[in-house]
Amino acid sequence: DIVMTQSPLSLPVTPGEPASISCRSSQSLLHRNGDNYLDWYLQRPGQSPQLLIYLGFNRASGVPDRFSGSGSGTDFTLKISRVEAEDVGVYYCMQVLQIPITFGQGTRLEIK
Amino acid sequence: QVQLQQSGPGLVKPAQTLSLTCAISGDSVSSNSATWNWIRQSPSRGLEWLGRTYYRSKWYNEYADSVKSRITINPDTSKNHFSLQLNSVTPEDTALYYCARFFRDAMDVWGQGTTVTVSS
């Protein structure tokens, strides 16, 4: 199974400041078609996870442009350019290159 | 707009069968471009993908090794839903269970979640 490792696990951020979350995979997520099979999700308190970024860098419908994804192979990053109060929750990366689909441990973003 | 509505009991006795259903609106369980997944979440295991069902000229099922001997995911085309059955449950199966649609390389729609407790 592909192991997904996120850091940090906890991320206190001042509103208006940037934030960055790292995700590393135990195997390359780069497919021969050139796509990286890595998605990012946000789980707000008491809610189901919601898709933010798919295939490494594509924002899902309705996701603000302050969210961006980057990286390739085994190293990926989710960046929030200016954190807002509504961004509080747990962020997960997920690999969809192979079965079983696997998730990172989650990064809890909190407002300072 | 695609929506998934979960139903099923929140309390299951040890050694019995956990059964949940996920009703689909706005899409079809027989879609040739989506897969239909069950995922659970617990403090000890985090988010754990359990398995999926999908149709590509015929039906396929794939399961996580951790539950492979105990799990069945079935589509029901007449009701446009899919179900999860997990046999011989133990307290370690206590978790928040989600159904989700996988479409265009992501889990783009999730059910509301069902908390299942395994206890006598």
Task: Yes or no: say if A87 and A79 are a contact pair by the CB < 8 Å rule.
Answer: no
Q: What is the pLDDT of residue B81?
A: 97
Q: Which amino acid is at B41?
A: Q
Task: Yes or no: say if A24 and A74 are a contact pair by the CB < 8 Å rule.
Answer: yes
Q: What is the pLDDT of residue B22?
A: 98
Q: Which amino acid is at B103?
A: F
Closest residue on chain A to B38 (Cα): A101
**Partner-chain contact B106 A96, CB within 8 Å:** yes
Q: What is the pLDDT of residue B69?
A: 97
- For residue B4, CA distances in Å to A35, A109, B59 come to 28, 27, 20
Other C-beta atoms within 10 Å of B39: how many? 26
Taking only the tens place, the pLDDT of each residue in B52-86 is 999 999 999 999 999 999 999 999 999 999 999 99
**How does residue B10 score in pLDDT terms, banded at 50, 70 and 90?**
very high
Taking only the tens place, the pLDDT of each residue in A17-59 is 999 999 999 999 999 999 999 999 999 999 999 999 999 999 9
Distance of CA A26 to the CA centre of its chain: 16
Q: Which of B117, B64, B120, B63 is nearest to B92 (CA)?
A: B117
Taking only the tens place, the pLDDT of each residue in A74-96 is 999 999 999 999 999 999 999 99
Taking only the tens place, the pLDDT of each residue in B26-50 is 999 999 999 999 999 999 999 999 9
Task: Yes or no: say if A96 and A48 are a contact pair by the CB < 8 Å rule.
Answer: no
Q: Which amino acid is at A107?
A: T
**Sole residue written with tokens 């390739």:** A72
- Average pLDDT value for residue range B4-10: 97
Q: Which amino acid is at B80?
A: N
State chain B's mean pLDDT as an integer.
Answer: 98
B1 touches chain A (CB under 8 A): no
**Sole residue written with tokens 């027989």:** B30
Q: Which amino acid is at B47?
A: L
**Partner-chain contact A50 B105, CB within 8 Å:** no
- Average pLDDT value for residue range B6-24: 97
> Which of A31, A38, A48, A57 is the best mutation test for B, with the most CBs of B within 10 A?
A48
Q: What is the pLDDT of residue A37?
A: 98
Q: What is the pLDDT of residue A69?
A: 98
